[in-house]
A and B are shown apart, each in its own frame.
Chain A
Amino acid sequence: MSSQTFPQSAKPATTLAKQSNIKEDLLNCFRSVHLAILLLSLLAIGTIIGVVMPQEGMVDIADIQEKFGTNFKFYQSMGFFNVYSSFWFITLQVLFFFNLLIGSFKWLKPATLAAVQKYCLSPELILQKPEVHSLPSLSTMPKDQLETKIADTLKHFHYRIYRDGTGNLYASKGNITRLGPCIAHLGILLCLIAGFYSCLTGFKAIKMAVPGQTFSILQADSFKTNVPKSLWLGDVPKWKIHVNDFQVEFYKDHPETAKQYYSTIQVVSPAGKVIKTQTISVNNPLLYDNLSIYQASYAPTGRFLIQVNGKSMAAEINNQFNQRPISLTPLGDGSTLVMFPFFAAQDPGVTKNYAVFFIRRPGEPFAQGRMPENIRLEEGQTATLKGKTITYKRPEMSTGLQIKRALEVPLMYLSYMIIIIGAVLCFFSQRQLWVTLREVSPGKTEILLHPKTNKARFSFRDELFQIQQALNTLVSPQKHSKELS
């Protein structure tokens, strides 16, 4: 029987070894720089596809279909029109997360050790290093005094000195920079975690509202959670938002460009009590209950606020003349107020918003071959036409509000700060110098230096050149003064 041929214990041991190897291989794969390079490259390529290909949500899907014709289905199945939510792009991000996580922990220990280590090398050990510099001393300075002088010289170059008391020195600077990559990686991890937390708890709502309107967040034009609702862990506040007023400020010399737009909004409790009032504008949101209400956009509603004989009314775009939108408003006496609006922002040659009004009597043909009696009114102007006093107040605008719950903001900003600190630290180098004194003959001491840096070799070389010059004046002052002369 097989059980007799092979001892029972042999099989599990092999399996265990195999399992352990697979685990080890997998871990090695995930913490390898090769995988990091591959993932960075693939993420870059994926993002480029997202830039080049039109993306759903930004471009109408019908337009994309028309543009790509028969290839549409293929590209769609590859997720090219929805790259950033596609399965393969999310998989790459997940792999990147684990690569960062495992890789960072792999490097954290050696980097920390490299940052905190302090050890000296004896002459025998220094001489085994590939890069050693020697300065033969001609001075008769006692060994301990020479060591102190060397330490002082290195301190002048901002090195931190560690001495073991037997003539061996360790000098280093920029130790903290060794942690730069780990700090940056941990910052990116934190950023990804904050993003994940945001997905689980955050939401975004957009509402186009006119002054006087009150609405709850769930009544917004669009309400989106960042993940499917079955996975969503957040909640929606019960309070409401009331829009008091909305104003657009245009540049006087560029009436087509909005300088700023302001909405005065109120946070109203379910019981109708005003909790907070604030005028928001672009770059200046309202913050309340971990929610931000942003001034995102504005748009004309297609209605115009006018007064006819002192009576306020709204003229609505409801018709077209020569492909130009116009408003036909019944005035109650059988006649109709016809309004042609013109906008500085969209009509060429128009520098101020205005409207042309005329009154059409019952049975009067719309086009008579000539312009009927009319008045041209700018915003705020009043005039009389066929016995009626008409005031053109302004086009009615709706304010575009974006409401966002983002509990992850402090965590996200913290991660940004950590990433920046890590990235900046990465630029700088750690410089290490091991120095020892070796007595070559009675009264003659040789200084041995072993330099090491992890980057910026050329500037370290320049510095080392200066250090050697400074040490030369220390150990052979006569020679140096001769050189100088």
Chain B
Amino acid sequence: MPYNEAFFAKAGLFLLAISALAYVLQVLIPKNWLRNASSLLLVSAVGSLITSLVYRSITAQFFALSNMYEALLVTTLGLTIAFLIIERRFRIPNLGWAVCLLGLVIMFYAGSISTEINPLQAALRSYWRSIHVPPLLLSYGFFTLAFLSSIAFLFTDRSKNNYGGMPNALATRDGGGSVMSFSMASAADLYDEVTYRCIAAGFPLLMIGVILGGIWANEAWGNYWSWDPKESMSLVTLLGYGTYLHMRINGEHSRRTLAFVSIIGFALVLMTFVGVNMWGFGSIHSYGSVK
């Protein structure tokens, strides 16, 4: 079998599927070696998908991020990379399998639409494309993770499950002055924190992407902002997550409310990413459409 773009894309899919299984196993058998193996498999899947994108870029002779297939591929990468980053900080095995499954669904959908390499429109022939789009798609990865974490929070918060294995180094001074007591942090606490950190990471990335897009539009057409539906929806997404962050700072809203706001935020991401083109709101970002 030739080692080409398709080979690495298929290998990436296969490794994603294996990672999903490994993460499921890790939930059932919480062992460290299984955790490391799952992460390693996911890293391999990411590596394989990146190689596929590199091959595609070499064939296309430009950075292959100009149509929906490529955007979905990079979004999957954004999601998995965001998860690997968050996983280093938080032990969240319950999100691992969900991320892998979601990645598989996105990739299968990407495979069902046109995978043809199209020539670049004149407007897209700019280095700005390579720096404007990746932060946006990486932010979508973080927001997707925040969405999954919010769902997990709503489930765990209701069932009052406790998450095991997190040493609570903030154990307060108890009576005789002993330290290093270990207590269990609730799973809901963890998911709430993961949601917040994902949104806190995704928000500046989205802002950077939108701002770079504005600068590009000004360099190309002399317009920072033209209230194009895609632009407007990205602003709505920014405002949505801005609302979340302000509600969080305000401290007067319950964590359940915040989880729902995060879910609404993700609906806005979906609307921005695929909805605008799918429902034909007439965006100049026509290259984001599904063929």
Which residues of A are in contact with B by a Cβ distance under 8 Å?
Answer: 33-34, 36-37, 40-41, 43-44, 47-48, 50-52, 54-55, 58-59, 84, 130-136, 181, 204, 251, 253-254, 257-261, 281-283, 285, 292, 294, 296, 402, 404, 406, 409, 412-413, 416, 419-420, 423-424, 426-427, 446, 451, 455-459, 461-462, 464-465, 468, 472
Contacts and interface: CB of A to CB of B under 8 A. Distances in A.
A459 B170 CA distance: 11
Contact of B219 (A84, A254, A283, A472): A283
Contacts of A257: 118-119, 121
26 contacts: A33-B246, A37-B246, A40-B240, A44-B239, A58-B282, A84-B227, A135-B179, A253-B119, A254-B119, A259-B120, A260-B125, A283-B219, A285-B222, A402-B221, A404-B222, A409-B218, A412-B224, A413-B215, A420-B208, A420-B211, A423-B204, A426-B200, A451-B170, A455-B200, A459-B89, A461-B169
Given A258-B122, A294-B220, A458-B193, A464 B170 contact: yes
Interface string B218-234: 11111010010100110
Interface string B133-170: 00000000000000000000000000000000001111
B197 A131 contact: no
Contacts of A413: 215
Contacts of B2: none
Contacts of B249: 33, 181
B276 interface: yes
B45 to A, nearest CB: 26
Contacts of B180: 468, 472
A257 B118 CA distance: 10
Nearest to A48: B236
B123 interface: yes
Nearest to A44: B239
B27 to A, nearest CB: 20
A416 B211 contact: yes
Contacts of B171: 133
Contacts of A465: 167, 169
A261 B172 CA distance: 69
B220 A461 contact: no
Interface centre among B128, B224, B276, B282 (most CB of A within 10 A): B224
A340 B128 CA distance: 41
A253 B167 CA distance: 62
Contacts of B203: 423, 426-427
Given A59-B282, A283-B128, A402 B222 contact: yes
Given A44-B236, A58-B282, A131 B122 contact: no
Given A133-B173, A260-B125, A420-B204, A37 B227 contact: no
Contacts of A420: 204, 207-208, 211
B273 interface: no
Interface string B162-204: 0000011111110001111000010000100100110011011
A51 B177 contact: no
Interface centre among A36, A40, A55, A446 (most CB of B within 10 A): A40
Contact of A258 (B121, B177, B246): B121
Contacts of B14: none
A416 B214 contact: yes
B122 A285 contact: no
Given A34-B250, A282-B125, 10 more contacts: A43-B239, A47-B239, A50-B227, A51-B232, A259-B119, A406-B222, A457-B193, A459-B89, A462-B89, A464-B170
